[in-house]
Amino acid sequence: MDKGIKIGLELHQRLATKNKLFCRCSTKGNEEKIKEIKRKLHAVPSELGQIDPAALFESKKAPLHKYDFYKGTCCLVEADDEPPHEMNSEAVILGLTICNMLNAEIVDEIHVMRKTVIDGSNTSGFQRTAILGLNGKLKYENEIEGRKEEKEIGIQTIAIEEESCGIIGEQKGEIESFRLDRLGIPLVEIATTPDIKNGREARTVAEQIGLMLRATGKMMRGIGTIRQDLNISVSGGARVEIKGVQDLDLIETVVENEIKRQTRLIEICEKIKKIREIRPELDDLFENEYVLEQCIKEVTELFNGTGSKLIKKSVESGKSVFAMKFPGMKGIFGIELYPDYRYGSELSDYAKTQGLGGIIHSDENIEKYNLKNEVSEIVKILKLEPNDGWIVVVGEKEQCISALKLVFKRAYETKVPEETRRADLQGKTHYMRPLPGSARMYPETDVAPIRITDSMLSESQDYPSFEEIENRVYSLLNREIGGKIIRSEKLNLFLELVEEGINPVVAAVTCEDTLKSLKRDGFEIAKLSEEDIKEALLLYRDEKITKAAIPELLKEMIKRNGHANEVIKDSGLFRISGEELKGLIIKENIKDVQSLMVKYRLNVDPQEASKIISELKK
């Protein structure tokens, strides 16, 4: 079922360089905050006097940004109070290595560009980025209905760019807080050609690229250090960029949802076209903001003493309620685009960008909201005819009006809009901003172009082959668990653990199976850093805990948000061994290992116990 589907993948991976990309700050965290900077970004017109739609959108949204400035990882360059230094040569060489691995054509001179970003995530108002390689390719194995097949995907570009600030939080949409320590960490961006056909293929390609990058051993590890963006279009739909898919397992869902979304939207657009044909007066509303605003009615009074708890609370706190008529829309808001996501949800996302919680629309179950009486009043006030729909929003007056205007324009769109969307943890996507235009990229004149020299190229040739790593892993583990670890994001952690003298099987099982089962049981494994896992396993290596206690210790660490060496103290997880174990066996008069293990499963190593028991029997 090919619907003219085009999927391209953009993968971003942080590089584990010592310093940042354009200054000498450390890339490794330090939590000591030394100051806070407050800044505003404004939309800047391009040379044709045009303001990039995405940039304008953001500048209207967030007026003031707060930046936390940390010791050691932030300097005036991050604060946009000093021009960038030369591009970090360690990152350049690593980038060239990746170009070689992907068989790309390396440029002769690197030109750093500024990509306009004014959502506040870059203090300068742009992200610095540069292409190092073009037209590469990646061979990978694709599985179709159980059959393995060699495939090849084109790599359009390989770029090195600076990471943005980390978002700390938002307060009423007014001030958004960021942390500056993440800004400027080098990233590699790998963009494939849009030749991926489905979600499974997208996942496989992402996995393969991640695998290849990790093989260099020079990638940052941990949550958020790798993320995927997806470009998806369906024939008759539009190019949609989906940002920030962090979990490989989500890629398939995201892709499938998006294909469904666009396919359904194409159908809805046809319905909208018909509505707009019958009701040409809608066109005027698109052209005239004033007339459009006249269609928005304040209905706050209707909700004094409303049965809806949610609205009651808002109205009591001084918020207003606004309603708007949507001619001909009855039944359309409720059309499901993909499971648990309707056309109404799509519009709700637009309202959310204006700081509202969402919308209530005419295709929803009004009983659920306890709004039966209010709705019948709204029908009268808006003079609704049988085919008309309505939308109600709650919030500050200005937010409500701008949200309804935005929602109205989106609702009557006759083609699928080009958008930048954000993926959530369920694999749904939400509207963020319009797709950026081409006015977005221009040269970074503060950084001199970098001529690629022969010595740089020869330095970049030096990387471990994937086969070498594969052979090493299979020399330590059997095919089954070895295959898992080779594909795992924890590959480098595994190799490091083995270096530390930890039993390879225990290391691999912990990295793969244990973490997965903890996640399945609802433990927030994101709280465990690689250092945490290492610390726990070192306790095992040093015979302070038993193998069986490892998962329990990890659980405790997650629960208490603590380090292994602290958590172990009062956890009752210490291993009982040697004379102590012998004493215990004698004291409790234990005759066989099983009965000992029933009681002391987590604290006793069964092999040691059986040895002691058989010695005692003698």
Partner 1 sequence: MYGEKIKKILEFKKIKEGDAVILKTERNEYKGIIMPRIGYGDKECLILKLTNGYNVGIEVNRIIDIKKTEGDIVPLRNVSQTEDYKIKGNPEEEIVILGCGGTIASKIEYRTGAVYPAITTEELIQSFPQLKEKKIRTRMLFSLLSENMTPKHWTQIANAIKEEIEKGCKGIVLMHGTDTMHYTAAALSYMIKTPVPIVMVGAQRSSDRGSSDNMMNLMSALIAAESDIAEITVCMHATENDDYCYLHRGTKVRKMHTSRRDAFKTINGNPIARIYPDEDRIEIISSYEKRGKNKLIVDTELNPNVALIYVYPGMKTDVLDSLIEHHEGAVLIGTGLGHIPTQLIDVIKKHSDKKPIVISSQTINGRLNMNVYETGRQMQDAGVIGHLMDWTPEAAFVKLMYALAHADNLIEVRKIMETNLSGEITERNEE
Q: Please, which residue, 59 or 73, has the CB nearer to partner 1?
A: 59
Measured distance CA(300)–CA(39) in Å, rounded: 36
Tokens read off for 310: 């949610």
Whether 278 and 457 have beta carbons less than 8 Å apart is answered as: no
Q: Among 16, 55, 62, 205, which residue interacts with partner 1 (rule: CB under 8 A)? A: 55
Provide, rounded to whole angstroms, the least separation between the CB of residue 12 and partner 1. 16
Binding residues for partner 1, rule CB under 8 A, total 55
x/- mask, partner 1, residues 136-165, rule CB under 8 A, reads --------------------xx-x------
Quick check: 277 binds partner 1 (CB under 8 A)?
no
Q: Among 171, 304, 365, 438, which residue interacts with partner 1 (rule: CB under 8 A)? A: 438
Provide, rounded to whole angstroms, the least separation between the CB of residue 184 and partner 1. 14
- Which stretch, 42-50, 524-532, 578-586, 604-612, contacts partner 1 (CB under 8 A)? 42-50
Provide, rounded to whole angstroms, the least separation between the CB of residue 134 and partner 1. 7
Q: Among 26, 30, 46, 503, which residue interacts with partner 1 (rule: CB under 8 A)? A: 46
Q: Please, which residue, 110 or 384, has the CB nearer to partner 1?
A: 110
Whether 552 and 564 have beta carbons less than 8 Å apart is answered as: no
Quick check: 129 binds partner 1 (CB under 8 A)?
yes
For residue 597, give the amino acid letter.
M
Measured distance CA(574)–CA(592) in Å, rounded: 22
Quick check: 430 binds partner 1 (CB under 8 A)?
no
Provide, rounded to whole angstroms, the least separation between the CB of residue 4 and partner 1. 21
Whether 136 and 159 have beta carbons less than 8 Å apart is answered as: no
For residue 3, give the amino acid letter.
K
x/- mask, partner 1, residues 406-425, rule CB under 8 A, reads --------------------
How many CB atoms are closer than 10 A to CB 48? 7
Provide, rounded to whole angstroms, the least separation between the CB of residue 560 and partner 1. 38
Of residues 158-197, those binding partner 1 (CB under 8 A) = 159
x/- mask, partner 1, residues 216-255, rule CB under 8 A, reads ----------------------------------------
Q: Please, which residue, 131 or 371, has the CB nearer to partner 1?
A: 131
Quick check: 34 binds partner 1 (CB under 8 A)?
no
Q: Among 443, 464, 572, 583, which residue interacts with partner 1 (rule: CB under 8 A)? A: 443
- Which stretch, 16-24, 219-227, 273-281, 432-440, contacts partner 1 (CB under 8 A)? 432-440
How many CB atoms are closer than 10 A to CB 315? 20
- Token pair 């056309």 is at which residue? 343
Quick check: 49 binds partner 1 (CB under 8 A)?
yes
Quick check: 343 binds partner 1 (CB under 8 A)?
no
Measured distance CA(152)–CA(157) in Å, rounded: 15
Whether 71 and 32 have beta carbons less than 8 Å apart is answered as: yes
Provide, rounded to whole angstroms, the least separation between the CB of residue 286 and partner 1. 24
Q: Among 30, 135, 370, 387, which residue interacts with partner 1 (rule: CB under 8 A)? A: 135
**Could you tell me how far CA 84 lies from the centroid of its own chain?**
27
Q: Please, which residue, 104 or 393, has the CB nearer to partner 1?
A: 104
For residue 429, give the amino acid letter.
T
Torsion of CA 578, 582, 585, 588, to 10 degrees: -110
Residues whose CB is less than 8 angstroms from the CB of residue 194 and which lie 6 or more positions away in sequence, other chains included: 6, 7, 8, 231, 233
Tokens read off for 478: 């059997």
Phi and psi torsions of 204, nearest 5°: -60, -45
| Nearest partner of 389 among 371, 406, 408, judged by Cα | 408
Q: Among 68, 162, 201, 444, which residue interacts with partner 1 (rule: CB under 8 A)? A: 444
Tokens read off for 159: 């770029």
Provide, rounded to whole angstroms, the least separation between the CB of residue 433 and partner 1. 14
Provide, rounded to whole angstroms, the least separation between the CB of residue 58 and partner 1. 9
Quick check: 42 binds partner 1 (CB under 8 A)?
yes
Quick check: 615 binds partner 1 (CB under 8 A)?
no
Torsion of CA 488, 489, 495, 496, to 10 degrees: -150
- Give burial (CB, 10 Å; 0-12/13-18/19+) of 503: middle
Quick check: 538 binds partner 1 (CB under 8 A)?
no
Provide, rounded to whole angstroms, the least separation between the CB of residue 289 and partner 1. 17
Provide, rounded to whole angstroms, the least separation between the CB of residue 186 and partner 1. 17
Q: Among 451, 516, 559, 560, which residue interacts with partner 1 (rule: CB under 8 A)? A: 451
Q: Among 335, 435, 441, 457, which residue interacts with partner 1 (rule: CB under 8 A)? A: 441
Phi and psi torsions of 262, nearest 5°: -65, -40
| Nearest partner of 9 among 199, 215, 264, judged by Cα | 199
| Nearest partner of 404 among 547, 396, 118, judged by Cα | 396
Q: Please, which residue, 104 or 550, has the CB nearer to partner 1?
A: 104
Quick check: 526 binds partner 1 (CB under 8 A)?
no
Quick check: 449 binds partner 1 (CB under 8 A)?
yes
Provide, rounded to whole angstroms, the least separation between the CB of residue 458 and partner 1. 17
Provide, rounded to whole angstroms, the least separation between the CB of residue 114 and partner 1. 8
Provide, rounded to whole angstroms, the least separation between the CB of residue 232 and partner 1. 17
Measured distance CA(202)–CA(7) in Å, rounded: 8
Q: Please, which residue, 83 or 562, has the CB nearer to partner 1?
A: 83
Quick check: 212 binds partner 1 (CB under 8 A)?
no
DSSP 317-353: TT-EEEEEEETT-TTTTT-EEETTEEHHHHHHHHHHT
Q: In the beta sheet, which residues pair with residue 188?
A: 13, 160
Quick check: 501 binds partner 1 (CB under 8 A)?
no
Provide, rounded to whole angstroms, the least separation between the CB of residue 16 and partner 1. 25
- Token pair 């006759």 is at which residue? 414
Quick check: 131 binds partner 1 (CB under 8 A)?
yes
Angle at 219 between CA 214 and CA 222, to 5 degrees: 95
Q: Please, which residue, 55 or 285, has the CB nearer to partner 1?
A: 55
| Nearest partner of 548 among 523, 526, 573, judged by Cα | 573
For residue 375, give the amino acid letter.
V
Angle at 616 between CA 585 and CA 546, to 5 degrees: 45
Measured distance CA(618)–CA(616) in Å, rounded: 5
Of residues 68-127, those binding partner 1 (CB under 8 A) = 76, 79-83, 105, 107-111, 113-116, 118, 123-126
- Token pair 């690229």 is at which residue? 209
State how beta strands 389-395 and 64-70 pair: unpaired
Interface residues with partner 1 (CB under 8 A) are 37-47, 49, 55, 59, 64, 76, 79-83, 105, 107-111, 113-116, 118, 123-126, 129-131, 134-135, 156-157, 159, 438-445, 448-449, 451
